[in-house]
A and B are shown apart, each in its own frame.
Chain A
């Protein structure tokens, strides 16, 4: 925790989710304060993606409550767009819009949602493209960029909505090894600027460097929440120990 007085941006309480009969998430409780950086890790299929996708309701939860900046998000709610605009999301597979230029990818959100003029949106977008170090590519189309560049565009696209919190779902795991550093650097810069972040990632170097807390999940439950130093050197649960030893290849 940063400090006890920071206002909570995301509060998840007793959240449960099923896919049909399959219990994907069970009794999830997690509070992320403004400015806090949380890394979520755990074995494949443990529900990491599902959990962060419930925050902006790309997946609907069935039990419990989720508050984003004090507003409860409910499945099927009317104004979910208003909440999504405050929550940026970056996907493993980038999901850029392939029929639009990089610049158009970035200005779509601000123009449609914030009523920005094209000039305003372009100025904003160019600023973010510079921050992710690809301003030179603004006129190109996504398939013309490398994976790492595409992912940085995706980050810039999310930032253009000026979100209060950023969700990352394994942003580097679809990338070639030499592309990963560029994306992580952007994420580290973002963290240093004080952005609230929830990152699903297995990049332990990143976790050590920026995370305030590490959340370890397994089989749809949060098993352990600890500070990175603590988590990596002295994991409490057997499952976390097993996971870490497998991750580090012992």
Chain B
């Protein structure tokens, strides 16, 4: 046969009748749900009142400015970023301890992971929040920080940590989430470390590297490549999980949404919009991480 001929075209993927029936079914269900809400509950839709809590028109300046729900979204994002950073530090240390030769370290880290994985998140956060606010903050003197001092009340601080007045509140949220997610990151890091073949340890130790050096120069860099994708996924999970700290009055998106829903009484609109905000945030990160991962694997030797 002629080698230069082009390969046959791959079979076209067509939607079958079953697929169309499925789509139709889903569409019908959605329509029916809309009908129930509109005509049976006689629900009075009013999106604008809720949208006002995302951006509102400021009469005095004559411009559109961000409102409560956007502030909440920003707080959620800040919470997620700081908590992920902190949880990663916890996760690396604990994950290393999980694989340590030292029994005490193994027991400690195992205890931490099991405790958190076997408690309902809410229960853990109530307990831990009580512990932070009654023990740790007084000890650190967080409550006594002068919140109008220049060091605290500056634009940089506001971008990083939000409203200085709410800093202790924010910090409590970060700590709770970090402790919680740290357990999951611990397991990711442990799996990453254990995924590095045993021969790498042996070769590194055979040239006389100390355990710390083996870890730093040989094992962690290799583990990191395996850890990054699940870590990115965990970051998105953390954004969603952060809604839980609304229950200890951390003023993030869900907390503020509850308030908006009750003041406007527009429950459906509020939660649908808030849901959309979470979705857009999480899905954008998912797309971003997916793109970064593809790029990284293309650059890999």
Contacts and interface: CB of A to CB of B under 8 A. Distances in A.
B205 A97 contact: no
Interface in A119-172: 141, 143-144, 154, 157-158, 160-161
B208 A113 contact: yes
A82 B209 CA distance: 9
A109 B209 contact: yes
A105 B17 CA distance: 59
Contact of A97 (B204, B210, B213, B225): B204
Given A112-B209, A113-B209, A58 B218 contact: no
B200 interface: yes
A97 B208 contact: no
B149 interface: no
A85 B202 contact: no
B209 A81 contact: yes
B208 A109 contact: yes
Interface in B170-217: 197, 199-200, 202-210, 213, 217
Main DSSP-derived SS at the B contact region: helix
Contacts of B208: 81-82, 84-85, 109, 113, 161
B206 A56 contact: yes
Given A108-B217, A112-B217, A143-B301, A95 B207 contact: no
Nearest to A87: B206
B221 interface: yes
A96 B203 contact: yes
Nearest to A76: B101
Nearest to A93: B199
A82 B206 CA distance: 10
B203 A161 contact: no
A98 interface: yes
Interface in B224-283: 225
Contacts of B203: 89, 91, 95-97, 154
Given A58-B202, A91-B203, A143-B301, A97 B209 contact: no
Contacts of A96: 203
A19 to B, nearest CB: 15
Contacts of A81: 205, 208-210
A108 B205 contact: no
A157 B208 CA distance: 12
B209 A99 contact: no
A230 B197 CA distance: 40
A91 B301 contact: no
A158 B207 contact: yes
B218 A97 contact: yes
A85 B206 CA distance: 7
Contacts of A87: 206
Given A89-B206, A109-B207, A141 B218 contact: no
Given A93-B199, A95-B200, A84 B218 contact: no
Most A CB within 10 A of own CB, among B208, B217, B301: B208
A84 B222 CA distance: 23
A112 B207 CA distance: 10
A170 to B, nearest CB: 13
Given A93-B199, A108-B217, A84 B301 contact: no
B199 A98 contact: no
A143 B222 CA distance: 14
Nearest to B218: A97
Query: Which interface residue of B206, B209, B210, B218 has the most chain A CB atoms within 10 A?
Result: B206
B83 to A, nearest CB: 29
Given A81-B205, A81-B208, A160-B207, 18 more contacts: A58-B202, A58-B205, A84-B205, A84-B208, A87-B206, A88-B206, A88-B207, A93-B199, A95-B203, A97-B204, A99-B225, A109-B207, A109-B208, A112-B210, A113-B209, A141-B301, A154-B203, A161-B207
Interface of B: 197, 199-200, 202-210, 213, 217-218, 221-222, 225, 301
12 contacts: A58-B202, A81-B208, A84-B205, A88-B207, A89-B203, A91-B206, A95-B197, A95-B200, A108-B217, A112-B209, A144-B301, A158-B207
Interface of A: 56, 58, 81-82, 84-85, 87-89, 91, 93, 95-99, 108-109, 112-113, 141, 143-144, 154, 157-158, 160-161
Sorted nearest first, the 5 A-B pairs with minimum C-beta distance are A95-B203, A85-B208, A109-B207, A95-B199, A89-B206
